[in-house]
């Protein structure tokens, strides 16, 4: 059993983990990729609104 964590870098040094899931097959499920993209967009919108 493998655990996969999707993440992205913010400002070169900060790692933002968006979601994690148990990997049951070779290919990453599209639903997990979409969830990570949505959470990244929300994070960036909120970050921009604070500035």
Residue 38 — φ and ψ, nearest 5°? -65, -45
- The pLDDT, as a whole number, for residue 12 is 80
- Confirm if 6 and 17 have CB atoms less than 8 A apart: yes
Q: Which domain covers residue 9, as residue numbers?
A: 2-50
Number of structural domains found in the chain: 1
CA dihedral 36, 43, 3, 23 (to 10 degrees): -10
For the record, the structure tokens of 38 come out as 């949505």
- Using one digit for the tens of pLDDT, what is the confidence trace for 1-50? 789 999 999 988 899 999 999 988 889 999 999 999 999 999 999 999 98
Give the pTM: 0.84
Report the distance separating Cα 35 and Cα 21, nearest Å.
11
- The pLDDT, as a whole number, for residue 42 is 97
């Amino acid at each position: 059993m493998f655990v996969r964590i999707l993440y992205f870098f913010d400002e070169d040094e900060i790692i933002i983990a968006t979601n994690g899931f148990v990997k049951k097959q070779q290919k990453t499920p599209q639903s997990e990729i979409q969830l990570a993209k949505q959470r990244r967009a929300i994070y960036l919108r909120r970050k921009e609104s604070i500035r």
